[in-house]
């Protein structure tokens, strides 16, 4: 039962993370001591976010390991994006039932792929034996005082989202219902398993957005966090929500908006912006290559109203909250 820090026959770093060659100048001491040593650059604040993904709860155990390695990092980077932080250092706590070379190599390749893209250096971690679960903590940098918070939305601000909503939830439903032989399945699956964290958009929104959050539990739930933190309400127009042709076709068929507004796993950003800064958005969209869509407006008061095209109020069946038996509580 003692805590062995070394596994004689297993060297995760040298055997599997050779592809990860980032050597950031702000890392004084990386892997291989009791702790990593980092010198945070002058004038920068530090952002920290941690997420755990558990097999059978947050992902199908049979997910390709490269997708899992990618996603566990993407989910965390999405949190940094929502703060306007630039990713910098990451730690990986990997709990695996046994040493399966192919699986681990796949996992590390997906993780490395995304880390390399954002110049993220792996500075520490712990590999343990046990039921499959992964905890990743990302550290990012923000110019002092410029972190985007949930609490800055004001009445009259416009509400925007990046990208499009509902694809990941649709992919999940297709998988769960065995309806995954459709032509666009691979495209949908990428949205579920390989979400692109909106890091560049978050950075570009520093000093522009009045509040921001990443949409991991669905728009209603996550915009709800902004509204509660800011002490305001909001009105959102369903018809204005950005959706893909696949989601549009599903809506056409079922009329079920819940997948779009409460589906989860979108990893888009939702942000608010004072009207007098709106003219900066076109340049941000162009620079980052990310679509920015106005979906509603912040109002005085409490609560979120979702309006149909005819002006009637649409009521979500559930708000995107997950019961404990199937979810997480990140804080």
Site for a copy of itself in 236-295 (CB under 8 A): 263-265
Instruction: Choose the stretch contacting a copy of itself; rule: CB under 8 A; options: 23-31, 110-118, 155-163, 276-284.
Output: 23-31
Q: Which residues, 28 to 47, sit near a copy of itself by CB under 8 A? A: 28-29, 31-40, 45-47
Distances (CA, A) of 138 to 79, 266, 277: 9, 19, 30
Instruction: Choose the stretch contacting a copy of itself; rule: CB under 8 A; options: 129-137, 237-245, 246-254, 286-294.
Output: 129-137
User: Could you say whether residue 177 binds a copy of itself (CB under 8 A)?
Assistant: no
Pairing of strands 158-162, 233-237: unpaired
* Contact pick of 181, 255, 311, 331 for a copy of itself (by CB under 8 A): 331
* Contact pick of 109, 116, 137, 237 for a copy of itself (by CB under 8 A): 137
In the complex with a copy of itself, the residue whose CB is nearer, 149 or 278, is: 149
Q: Which residue in the block uniquely carries the two structure tokens 């050779």?
A: 18
- Cα maximum dimension of the chain: 67
Residue 282 CB, nearest distance to a copy of itself (Å)?
25
Q: In whole angstroms, what is the distance from residue 264 CA to residue 214 CA?
A: 10
Q: What are phi and psi of 59, to 5 degrees?
A: -155, 155
Q: In whole angstroms, what is the distance from residue 7 CA to residue 21 CA?
A: 23
User: Could you say whether residue 184 binds a copy of itself (CB under 8 A)?
Assistant: no
Q: Which residues, 82 to 111, sit near a copy of itself by CB under 8 A? A: 82-83, 85, 89, 91, 93, 95, 98-99
Residue 122 CB, nearest distance to a copy of itself (Å)?
9
Q: In whole angstroms, what is the distance from residue 214 CA to residue 148 CA?
A: 11
Q: In whole angstroms, what is the distance from residue 83 CA to residue 280 CA?
A: 18
From the number of C-beta atoms within 10 Å of its C-beta (0-12, 13-18, 19+), residue 45 rates as middle
User: Could you say whether residue 185 binds a copy of itself (CB under 8 A)?
Assistant: no
Is there a contact between 94 and 127 (Cβ–Cβ < 8 Å)? yes
User: Could you say whether residue 209 binds a copy of itself (CB under 8 A)?
Assistant: no
In the complex with a copy of itself, the residue whose CB is nearer, 28 or 283, is: 28
User: Could you say whether residue 158 binds a copy of itself (CB under 8 A)?
Assistant: no
User: Could you say whether residue 149 binds a copy of itself (CB under 8 A)?
Assistant: yes
Q: In whole angstroms, what is the distance from residue 46 CA to residue 88 CA?
A: 10
């Amino acid at each position: 039962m003692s805590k062995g820090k070394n596994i004689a026959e297993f060297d995760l770093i040298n055997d599997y993370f050779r592809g990860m060659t980032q050597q950031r100048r702000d890392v004084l001491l990386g892997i291989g001591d009791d702790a990593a040593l980092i010198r945070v650059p002058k004038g920068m604040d530090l952002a920290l976010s941690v997420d755990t993904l558990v097999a059978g709860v947050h992902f199908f155990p049979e997910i390709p390991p490269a997708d899992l390695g990618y996603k566990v990092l993407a989910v965390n980077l999405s949190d940094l994006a929502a703060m306007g932080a630039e990713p910098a250092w990451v730690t990986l706590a990997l709990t695996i039932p046994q040493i399966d070379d192919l699986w681990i190599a796949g996992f590390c390749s997906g993780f490395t792929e995304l880390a390399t893209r954002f110049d993220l250096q792996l500075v520490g971690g712990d590999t343990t034996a046990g039921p499959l679960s992964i905890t990743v903590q990302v550290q990012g940098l923000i110019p002092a005082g410029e972190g985007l918070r949930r609490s800055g939305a004001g009445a009259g601000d416009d509400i925007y989202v990046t990208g499009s909503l509902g694809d990941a939830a649709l992919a999940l439903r297709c998988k769960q219902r065995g309806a995954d032989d459709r032509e666009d399945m691979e495209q949908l699956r990428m949205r579920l398993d390989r979400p692109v964290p909106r890091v560049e958009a978050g950075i570009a929104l520093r000093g522009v957005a009045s509040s921001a959050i990443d949409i991991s539990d669905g728009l209603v739930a996550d915009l709800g966090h902004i509204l509660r933190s800011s002490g305001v309400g909001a009105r959102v127009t369903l018809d204005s929500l950005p959706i893909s042709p696949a989601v549009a076709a599903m809506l056409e068929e079922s009329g079920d908006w819940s997948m779009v507004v409460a589906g989860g796993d979108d990893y888009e950003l939702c942000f608010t912006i004072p009207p007098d800064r709106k003219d900066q958005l076109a340049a941000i969209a162009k620079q980052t290559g990310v679509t920015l869509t106005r979906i509603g407006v912040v109002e005085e008061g409490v609560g979120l109203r979702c309006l149909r095209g005819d002006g009637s109020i649409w009521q979500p069946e559930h708000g995107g909250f997950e019961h404990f038996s199937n979810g997480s509580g990140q804080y």
